[in-house]
Chains A and B, each alone.
Chain A
Amino acid sequence: MSAIFVLIVLQLIGESIVQVSGLPVPGAIIGLILLYAILLLRGEISDEMSRTSGFLLQNLGVLFVPAGVGVIAYLPMIATQWLLILAVLLVSVCATIAITGLVVARLSPRGIETVEAVARS
């Protein structure tokens, strides 16, 4: 219980900071920074916080469903140009993912966990 309380209260504090300061950042991001600072100060993650955050992040996909359904209502907007849009999506998504991934991989030092390391274990 206390972990979900902490997450919600930190978001509340984050939203309040955004309201007062007018920072152009979502309140949840401020909440994230606050929780990170708390973890740094405490030097450890409680079991419960570890489990709660793991649960939320493992099921992140379902949280996008309600907003995603709303967007589909706009699909007729792109009906006349769907082929062009599909082409743009395929090219830009493939190019962006490949280039970004290659830049990180080539410029990072060796020794960071790879796909094979998990497959072997």
Chain B
Amino acid sequence: MSADRFVSGLEFLGATPLLWLSLTLGAYLAATVVNERCYRTPLLNPTLLAIALVVVVLTATGTSYKRYFDGAQFVHFLLGPAIVAMAVPLYRHTEIIRKSAGALFGALVIGSVTAILSSVLVARSLGGDRELWLSMAPKSATAAISMAISGRIGGIPALTAVLTISTGITGACLASYVLRLAGVREWHARGFAMGLCSHGIATARAFQENEIAGTFAGLAMALNGIATAALVPLIIKLLDRAG
């Protein structure tokens, strides 16, 4: 094979979506295998490992994110149908939702306020500047919503995106330990806590633990998107008044 053909072959590979699709699925498969070898420890979250692996490959080959995403967007695209599909377990577990509706509403308000206040107050007490803690306030809502809130209240949406994904991964890694320490054993309560705090990434983790947990994580993620959008501007206003 001549050098020319080798180079044009490489260019073809870089341009076809198949390569970046394969990289995405392959990285996730590899991450799943590593996770299983390590006794499925939540600390080695497959989503986190796969992201890290893809970043290493893109950096090593000098591939732009745009080029990667052009190929990998087919995987990203399936997020929409997956959200629609959540209607199936929600329908299956409607009875538990009905029985615990009051508890869920109470936990939504208390949990959402906890998420917002704890990030703002800790960031302020450690000397973070205003832009940073404004960007942190909505980080428990799913990325599209948290970035929109951040822009509206004077935060930096790109920074909020990083903080939101980090919150998702931190929650997916630590939730099992925190819930065990707190003595929360009901699947619906465990899932609701994971989805409220750490949106889709922890919802993915919850579905792997138990279907009820996953269902309630998805429900909490949707509800906390709304609650965070309503509560963040209110809490920021109150904090500013209090000084």
Determine whether the beta carbon of B170 is less than 8 Å from that of A89: yes
Cross-chain pair count, CB within 8 angstroms: 298
Determine whether the beta carbon of B89 is less than 8 Å from that of A77: no
Q: Tell me if A2 is interfacial: C-beta within 8 Å of chain B.
A: no
Determine whether the beta carbon of B159 is less than 8 Å from that of A77: yes
| Residues of A close to B24: CB separation below 8 A | 62, 65-66
**Quick one: CB contact mask for B61-88 with A, threshold 8 Å, 1 for yes?**
0000100110011011011111111111
Q: Tell me if A35 is interfacial: C-beta within 8 Å of chain B.
A: yes
In the complex with contacts A63-B78, A118-B210, A93-B83 CB distance below 8 A: no
Q: Chain A: which residue is nearest B73 at the CB level?
A: A66
Starting from the known contacts A68-B51, A97-B197, 8 additional A-B residue pairs (CB-CB under 8 Å) come to: A7-B84, A32-B86, A67-B143, A78-B159, A84-B126, A92-B122, A92-B167, A107-B103
What are 8 A-B pairs with beta-carbon distances under 8 A? Answer: A32-B83, A56-B82, A69-B55, A84-B128, A91-B122, A93-B198, A96-B196, A97-B171
Which B residues are within 8 Å of any A CB, using their own CB? Answer: 24-25, 27-28, 45-47, 50-52, 54-55, 58, 65, 68-69, 72-73, 75-76, 78-92, 96, 99-100, 102-104, 106-107, 110-111, 114-115, 118-119, 122-123, 126-128, 132, 136, 139-140, 143-144, 158-159, 161-163, 165-168, 170-171, 174-175, 178-179, 181-182, 184-190, 192-194, 196-198, 200-201, 203-205, 207-208, 210, 212, 214, 220, 222
